[in-house]
Amino acid sequence: MQNTVPAQAITDLVREVAGSVYVPGDEGYAREIAGFNLRSTHEPLLVVAAAHTGDVQAAVSFAAAHQLPVGVKNTGHQPFPAQEGFVLITVGAMRSVAIDADRAVARVGGGARWADVVGPAQEVGLAPLNGSAPHVGVVGYTLGGGLSPLLGRVHGWAVDHVVSIEVVTADGRVRRVARDEEPELFRVLCGGRSNFGVVTEIEFGLFPLSSFYGGGIYLPGHTAEDVLRTFAELSRQPLPEGFNCSVALLNLPPLPELPEPFRGKFLAHVRVSHLGTDAEAEALIAPFRALGPALVDTVSRQPYSAFAAVHADPVDPAPYEESSALLASLPDEAVDRLAAFARTAAGGPVTVLELRQLGGALNAMPAHAVPLAARQAGFIVWGATVGPPPIVASGELALRTLLDELSPWSTGLLYTNFTGREDQAEDTFDVDTLADLREAKRRFDPQNLFRVNNHNVDPQ
């Protein structure tokens, strides 16, 4: 590992970029490398906080000239193993958003977050295939698949609606790629993410939608087993594609900022959204309401801009680890394993365990389908543990034990955006897809410059 660069070279880089350059010890260095997941600690040799595409181009060329690997960060939600001696390019300042209402397309900068996009899109009656949290970065979410909890079962994965990508590749070139313009690079970026360059701008489709019926039903923890079994029964019915449902078991901390019904409690959280009528949704969720009085019930007709109310994801950075599995099916035996976990989960180390149904357009294979293992799955099980190292270690052990018990129904692969710190490319791509990605890597990044982030596709 090369861990020194001539001081003059850094000085020249500082003069070249419009953004900021940091080295260890500089004021601002720690702030710039920090991400949403506080367990992700790194020590890059150099940080370039890019202000525009030219800064990214300068940083990539600098790294290549000095044989330094490159990492990319926007919000830092997804963890990757601690590393040092690399060039970190942060794109958080590149948050431009332009909505083309006539084409129903958004063009956004590499640092945009969903909160930046939803508001302007809603001003013209359009909605993106965003995830559950407004503070997640658009590019990483989309190129990792992009699972919308409101629109996914109707329109499929966000990555299938990418129109074009501006990317800086390992040779320092800025390329704009699409299905009909450098189609090979476009295809592998859609699914392969930062293995092939630093994305500085992305264009994607939008859909006409201004409201939905949904929210969260929070039930006492003692109903958790019944909630899981009710969810399983509901999932076996022929459901409208516009209906989305997931359940989460929550161990909430005794923090004063939490509402009193939630503080220090074990809860079962039913997350629901429906794009049809209110009455249709109420009929579908009636079995959950029959389990008893809810502690809190936010299900109602809501503007699309209130999408975050469905999952109510945390908004403050925290130290956590996560694990997941893709399930092909959810038979009674699998539900029994989940129910057994629920019976002992109260007060345990696992902070959240979610079971989410896929189906509908999420299982479709469009003609231009890109690499995505989750297309073959019916459900996702995902869990996370928040806290100090001993608690996280205990929670990860509990989650791995549960996922091992669910392995008979697993597809054997993972959804890219729900992976843990140690998961590799082999865990997210099948053998044929990985071979295809490696061939593309040999063409576009033969020296494996972009190798710091998770799921590195080694060209060798």
| In a shared domain, residues 81 and 199 | no
CA atoms in the 13 A half-sphere facing the CB of 274: 19
Query: What is the rounded CA–CA span in Å between residue 320 and residue 358?
Result: 25
* 454 is a domain residue: no
State if pTM tops 0.85: yes
Interatomic CA distance for residues 163 and 401, integer angstroms? 41
Q: In CATH, what number is assigned to the domain containing residue 132?
A: 3.30.465.10
Q: Of 90, 112, 138, which marks where a domain is finished?
A: 90
- Residue 458 CA to chain centroid, in angstroms? 22
pLDDT at 454: 72
In a shared domain, residues 286 and 385: yes
Looking at residue 93, what is its pLDDT?
97
**Residue 35: CATH number of its domain:** 3.30.43.10
Total structural domains in the chain? 3
- pLDDT value of position 3: 59
Q: Domain for residue 332, yes or no?
A: yes
Pair 250, 351: CB distance under 8 Å: yes
Residue 230 lies in a domain: yes
Whether residue 323 sits in one domain with residue 249: yes
Q: What is the pLDDT of residue 78?
A: 78
Q: Do 271 and 137 share a domain, yes or no?
A: no
The verdict on residue 1 lying in a domain is no
Q: Along the chain (460 residues), what's the average pLDDT of each consecutive run of 10 residues?
A: 78 97 96 93 94 98 96 87 90 98 98 98 98 97 96 97 98 96 95 93 98 98 98 97 97 88 94 98 98 96 97 94 97 98 96 97 85 92 97 97 98 95 92 94 96 88
Query: Do 369 and 316 share a domain, yes or no?
Result: yes
Domain shared by 163 and 120, yes or no? yes
Considering the domain boundaries, does residue 231 fall inside one? yes
Task: Specify whether 258 is located in the same domain as 303.
Answer: yes
> Do residues 324 and 349 share a domain?
yes
Range of 329's domain? 211-418
Q: Is residue 129 part of a domain?
A: yes
Estimate the crossing angle of helix 278-289 against helix 224-235, to 10 degrees. Answer: 140
Residues 72 and 107 in one domain: no
* CB of 90 closer than 8 Å to CB of 32: yes
Whether 238 and 184 share a structural domain: no
DSSP letter for each residue of 127-138: E----S-TTSBH
Same domain, 291 and 414: yes
Distance CA 165, CA 148 (A): 20
Domain assignment present for 321:
yes
Name the burial class of residue 82, with classes exposed (0-12), middle (13-18) and buried (19+) by CB atoms within 10 angstroms of its CB: exposed
Same domain flag for 63 and 150: no
CATH code at 240?
3.40.462.20
Looking at 68, 90, 112, which one is the last position of a domain? 90
